[in-house]
Amino acid sequence: MPDKATTLILFGATGDLAARMLLPSLYALHRDGLLPVDLKIVATSRSAHDDASFRAHARAALEAHVPATFIDDAAMGAFLALLTYVTLDATDAAGYQRLAAAVPAGGETAIFLSTAPSLFKPTIDNLEAVGLAGPHVRLALEKPLGSDLASSRSINDAVAAAFPEERTFRIDHYLGKETVQNLLALRFANLLFEPVWSSAHIDHVQITVSETVGLEGRADYYDGAGALRDMVQNHMLQLLALVAMEPPSQLDATAVRDEKVKVLRSLRPIRSEDSVTGQYGAGAVGGKPVPAYAEELGGASGTETFVALKAHVDNWRWAGVPFYLRTGKRLPDRRTEIAIQFRALPHSMFASRGARAAPNRLIIAIQPEENITLELMAKQPGLDRGGIRLREVELDIEQADAFADVRRRIAYERLLLDLVEGDPTLFVRRDEVEAQWQWIDGIRAVWEGAGTSPRPYAAGNWGPSAAIALIERDGRSWND
C-alpha cells in the first residue's frame, strides 16, 4: 500500500457532489483527527474563486449539510485553512500549470475527478503533461464510466495510459455504505450463515433499489442512461456480487475483487422474458401528485425508468437460485435492501397440529435505515388446546441501536479516507467494470432485438404489472 497522501486535489469542487458529500466528509474526517496532519486540499473548478471566496463557499456548504451539533468553530476554521483554490477549465492546458504550482513538491498526491466522462481524457493528458501523474499520484474516478463496454474500455485505456491499475480508484459509493461492508462481516465472520449460504438452503434472492424521486435536474444524463445503466450496471451488480461471492482468502483488495469478478463473469445472459422495463406516468407519491416522466423531460422518450430482472449465477454454489433485481423511479418508497429467502422445511412436524411454518428470511436494509432482520418461527404463547400456533418473529439488529456509541458515517467519508491512505479494497477494478458492462450490453441487445419498449406505470406504484408477473409465475412474491 502506498504512503498516505499529503495533497488531495478535488476536481468539480463547486459542484453539488462536493457541497453535499465531499466537503462534509472531509470536514468530519478532519474534525475526528483521521486525515494526515500535513494534508493540503487543493480545490478546482471553472468557477472564479480565490482562496478566501472558496473558503466562504465551503463554509456555506458545511453549514447547510453538516448537522449543527457537529459543527465546531475551531474545527471549522482549521479545516477551511487546509483549502486552497485554483480556477481551472479542464480543457485549458495553461490552467494545469497553475494547478501543479499549487501542489507541494514531494509526498503522495490523490486526485478526485468528478467531471463529465468526455473530459476524462483531456484532463488526464493535461495532468500527465504537468507532472501530476506517475508513481506518486493516484486517481479516483466518479461514475459514469462509459455508457457501454466499448466506451468504458476507451475511458479505461485513457486512464491506464497515465495511471496504472493499482493507482486507479473507481468509485461506487454504495461500497462505502456501512451495511454493504457489513454484508462481508455477516457472511464471513459468522459460522452460522456460511454453511447455509448456497442453493441447498436458499430459495431465491431479491435486490431492490427504489426511489420516490423523478429527474431532479438530471434530465440530460438520465434520459441518455436509463435505469439499467444508471443503477443496475454499478450499484446493484456490486450488491449481487457481494451476496454471491466465494469467501476471499483474506480481506485485501486483490482477494475480495477477484471473487467479485468470478461472480460477474458467471452471470447467465438475460432472456427477453426475464426482464421488464417501465416508464412512469402521472400519479401520486407520498400523497402528492407528480407529473409523468415525459412531462418532466419535456417530450416523449423511450428511456426506461424501471427495470426488473431475473438473473442467475451459473456456478456450483448458486445453480438454480434466481436473483430478482428491480429498481425504478417514482416508486412508493425509498428503499435499498437485499432479501435472502431460505427454502421451506422439507417436513414440518407441526402441520398435524394445525401449525404452519413459513420459510426463514434474512433482510439486509441498506437505506434509508440500516439494519439486519432475520425472520424466524416461534411458538405463540398459549395452552395449545386448539392446536399449536406458530408465528413469525423478527430478530432485528437496528444498526443505530446496536452501535449507538459509534457515530454513523456517510459513504464518502470511508471512500475519501481510503483514497488518501491508498487502500483500493472498496473501489472497483477495471475487470469488474468491464464484466458488468458486458452483461448489461447483452441485455440491451436483447431489448433491441425484441423491440422492447418501456411499459407504462403510474407514479406511486411498484412498476408495471408485468414486473409482478415476472416473480409470481415462479410462485414467489416481491418483498413489498
Instruction: List residues forming the annotated binding site for NADP(+).
Output: 46, 143
Q: What are 228's three cell numbers?
A: 439499467
Q: What CA–CA distance (Å, rounded) separates 238 from 256?
A: 12
HSE (side-chain half, CA atoms, 13 Å) at 294: 12
- Sequence-distant (6+) residues with CB within 8 A of 295 are 282
Catalytic residue among 49, 57, 204, 235: 235
Q: What CA–CA distance (Å, rounded) separates 377 from 379?
A: 7
Task: Check if the beta carbon of residue 278 is closer than 8 Å to that of residue 261.
Answer: no
CA-wise closest residue to 363 among 352, 375, 355, 354: 375
HSE (side-chain half, CA atoms, 13 Å) at 23: 33
Q: Which residues are registered as beta bridge partners of 363?
A: 339, 373
Looking only at the bridges linking them, the beta strands covering 202-210 and 322-328 are: parallel
Longest dimension (CA), the chain: 87
Task: Check if the beta carbon of residue 71 is closer than 8 Å to that of residue 39.
Answer: no
Q: What are 448's three cell numbers?
A: 433491441
Q: What CA–CA distance (Å, rounded) separates 276 from 91?
A: 41
CA-wise closest residue to 40 among 91, 87, 94, 110: 110
DSSP letters for 122-189: HHHHHHHHTT--STTEEEEEPSP--SSHHHHHHHHHHHHTTS-GGGEEE--GGGGSHHHHHHHHHHHS
57 belongs to the catalytic site:
no
Long-range contacts of residues 270-273, Cβ cutoff 8 Å, at least 24 apart = 270/309, 270/310, 270/311, 270/439, 270/442, 270/443, 270/446, 271/446, 272/446, 272/447, 272/449, 272/450, 272/452
Binding residues: 46, 143, 173, 177, 211, 230, 329
Task: Check if the beta carbon of residue 84 is closer than 8 Å to that of residue 41.
Answer: yes
**Residue whose C-alpha cell reads 461492508 in the numeric block:** 181
Active site amino acids:
235
